[in-house]
Amino acid sequence: MPRVHTHYDNLKVARNAPPEVIRAAYRTLSKKYHPDHNPDSKESIRIIQLINAAYEVLSDPAKRDEHDRWIARMEAGDAAQHKGWNNSDGHGPNSYARPQARSRSSTATRSRQPHFASVAAQRLIYRMQYMLDQFARYLSKKA
């Protein structure tokens, strides 16, 4: 069963995360990547669009259920019918992502770029995920 990139991955939360954790992740990532805090970064604009789209879907229970069903279909093998992450049905996590630039090499042999390309961003994501895991443990102990 292939694992697809989802809105949960964009917010760096587990698929069974409660609304409180999703909101905390959204607030943390929004503060980090907000264009007012990164005025010279075009990448931050793209990232904040993805974060906003993910939160819009995951904060609404009906849209979240629909997104979960989309994930189940994609992971069950329906993903072969769709080409790439920017799906035309509007349920893909990167529906607002910019199209990838074409290179001179064949696009069929070229691998996809990761969502966050730089090493520094990957380190930041790891740290954020660790903090969110700690926060989720704290909430589960408190409840």
Mean pLDDT value across residues 64-80: 82
Closest CA to 140 of 5, 8, 30, 14: 14
* Highest-scoring range by mean pLDDT, 37-51, 70-84, 89-103: 37-51
The answer to whether residue 2 sits within a structural domain is no
CATH of the domain at 96: 1.10.287.110
| Number of domain units in the chain | 1
Round the average pLDDT of the chain to a whole number and report it.
75
Give the span between the Cα atoms of 75 and 63, in whole angstroms. 18
Give the per-residue pLDDT at 120.
Answer: 64
The answer to whether residue 104 sits within a structural domain is yes
Give the per-residue pLDDT at 101.
Answer: 43
- Whether residue 91 is predicted with pLDDT greater than 60 in this model: the reply is no
Q: Return the structure tokens found at 121.
A: 């961003």
The answer to whether residue 135 sits within a structural domain is yes
Q: What b/e string do you get for 54-70 counting C-beta neighbours within 10 Å, with b at 16 or more?
A: bbebbeeeeebeebbeb
The answer to whether residue 1 sits within a structural domain is no
Instruction: Give 98-126 pLDDT, tens digit per residue.
Output: 444 444 444 444 444 444 445 666 667 77
